Each structure stands twice: as structure tokens, then as C-alpha cells.
Amino acid sequence: MAGTSRDTGIKGFCTVEQHILSKQGEHPHATGAFSSVLTGIMLAGRIISAKVRRAGILDVLGETSEVNVHGEQQQKLDQIANKALETCLCYRESVGIIASEELDEPRIVRETSGKYVIIFDPLDGSSNIDVNVSVGTIFSIFERGTHNGAGHDHLADVLQPGRKQVAAGYIVYGSSTVMCYSTGEGVHMFTLDPSVGSFLLAQENVRMPVTGKYFSVNEGNYESFPRGVQEYLTWCKSPDAGPYNARYIGSLVADFHRTLLRGGVFLYPPTAKSPKGKLRLMYEANPIAMIAEQAGGKATDGTTDILDKAPTSLHERTPLFVGSVREVERVQEYMKRVGG
């Protein structure tokens, strides 16, 4: 599939739709319902990308007067991104339920029909929006439980463990707009070509390096990290380790994308301010964990693999340690040895 197409000279002149079609052979019962959801997410991604790229000259920067369920002041672009995803997804017949970081409760789009549940962080890294640093959209897709009409348990359809995701991914709005997604058969990366308005295949079956000398963490919280994490970070900075390079953008989607391609580990441990961790399980940790594992990496909350955690609420938080298998295991060893 990959490789340069002779007549266009554009590497991998393959769209996401073609890529899914090419995989359909492996899914004889595919109905197009899934690709319809993905094209909805990509359309919203193109709309958001266009706003983010012209943010300085459009009235989309800064805060709104509204506060979201987390008590955070909503950014204008948070709302714009959320609206774009809601609108693009709710048109699709195969969408039954959507849930978002910016919506207090799940939205039941179709009471009994609509096969899929889509949970998303419309604009991750909001603290970076106004300073032109990469931000992103993160999405997680589940299939609904059995449709039995009245009394259907919508919340049970949303609160499924990450291992049940049928697909997950993210879009980074960085120097270019890149989408990475997985349906459980590897991780594939597409770049938005604004000149043709399509996400084109950039790399298939992306593999995360097994090790990598990068650690990514907000060390401003160092004093309240668990001692095992403090000891691991001290080791990373020691001649014995190399030392490792510190990299922290402050947008999970961008810090993870670098970790996917270069290896290393991203850490958001429990802190005094966020004793359960800051990041949200359903629309940050779960989808990122699926991509990590599908690329050969690992994602844990320190003890349990993220994808094996049983969610109890839509906006629950979790500690997150994700990256190269060897690095995440090393953090866990330190946490076990030094006791959390």
C-alpha cells in the first residue's frame, strides 16, 4: 500500500477511506457504518484544523464565560471543536451515543439505533491554544450493547473498559495535521494535505521503539510525585542512564505523538493537586493506550494496564504512564521497589 505513486509523486496517495476499503477484505460483514464514523471525525478534524491554523486572525482565541464540568474556563476553540464533532457525528446514522470532555453527560443521539458510541476530547492541550503550540483531538469508539428498545442501558454502553474499544485515535494540529488511528490491526498515520483536502497515508503499521531516551513529565509537580517516580526521574538524569532527554510540550496528544515515533515515556503521575492523576480515562488515557499497545508500547496507571481498568464515571481521572515497553516497565519497577 505505502510507497510513492508513480503518476502523482505523492507518497502513499491513499486516503483513509481507501485504506479502510483495502482492509475490508478482512471484514466480510463490514457495512461502511464504521468508515462513516471515521469520515465524520475527519471532517470535524479538517474544520478544527482550519480554525487552529488561522487562530490569530479569527476571533477564536481566548476564554468564553462558560465553565465546563471540570470547573475549567472553556476556551473558544474548545467550544468550536466540540460543536464541529457533535455536528459531524450526529448526522451519521451509525452514531448512537456521543460523549465529550466538554459535555457534562453523554448525549443519546439515537435511542435504540446507531451502532457506535464515540467519546472524545475535542481539543486536548487547551493551555497551549493561545500560544500556537500543538493541540489535538482524541477519540475512542465502542460498539453499543444489544439493542432491546425501552430500558436500554446507555451509561453501560459508554462506561466500557478500554480493551473493548473497536477503534481509537487522535489528530494533532501541529506543523502539519496528522491523524493516527487503530482498529485493532496496527496503527496507521495519515497527513492532511490541505491542497486536496484529504488525509493521505503517511505511514502504515507504525511501531513504537522498545526503548527511548526521552522522559516527558511536568517536573513542576516533582515534590508531590510518588517516591518511586521521583527515583526514576533522578535515575533518568544520571550518567548511568545516559542521561535521558527531557521533553514536555504540555499537550498530551503532542507529547504522546513524539513518544510514539521516538520512544521514551510520558508520565502524568498522581500529584498533591490531582491525587488520582489529572488525565481523563475515557477520552484521554484509553484511546492513547490503545494506540500505544497497538504500536507495541505499554500504558499503565502504575499498577494496572489502562485498557483493563473498569470505568465508573465518564469524567474520571487516572494516573498515566505510557510509552516504550522497557521504559514503562522501568518506571513500574521503581514504583514497586520504592513503594509507590
User: Residues interacting with ligand FBP, by CB under 6 A?
Assistant: 101, 121, 124-127, 218, 250-252, 278
Return the number of the residue (11 or 262) whose C-beta is nearest ligand FBP: 262
Neighbour tally for 55: CB within 10 Å: 18
Which residue lies nearer to ligand FBP by CB, 11 or 247?
247
Nearer to ligand FBP, 86 or 101 (CB): 101
Which residue's CB is nearer to ligand FBP, number 102 or number 327? 102
Write down the least CB distance from residue 214 to ligand FBP, Å.
Answer: 15
Question: What's the rounded Cα separation, in Å, for the pair 103 and 121?
Answer: 10
At its nearest, how many Å lie between ligand FBP and the CB of residue 133? 11
Q: How far is the CB of 282 from ligand FBP (least distance, A)?
A: 12
State the Cα–Cα distance between residues 249 and 218, nearest whole angstrom: 9
The strands making up 265-268's β-sheet, listed across from edge to edge, are: 245-246, 214-216, 265-268, 320-323, 298-300
CB of 96 or CB of 319, closer to ligand FBP: 319
Rounded (to 5) percent helix, strand, coil in the chain: 35, 25, 40
Instruction: Between 125 and 212, name the residue whose CB sits nearer to ligand FBP.
Output: 125
| Residue (34 or 268) nearer to ligand FBP, CB | 268
> How many C-beta neighbours within 10 Å does residue 66 have?
13
Task: Identify each DSSP E strand in the chain by its residue range.
Answer: 63-67, 73-75, 95-100, 107-108, 116-124, 135-143, 167-173, 177-182, 187-193, 198-203, 214-216, 245-246, 265-268, 298-300, 320-323
Question: Per-residue DSSP letters for 276-301?
Answer: T-SSBIIIIIHHHHHHHHHTT-EEES
Spell 236-245 as b/e; 16+ CB within 10 A means b.
beeeeeeebe
Helices of type H across 127-175: 154-158
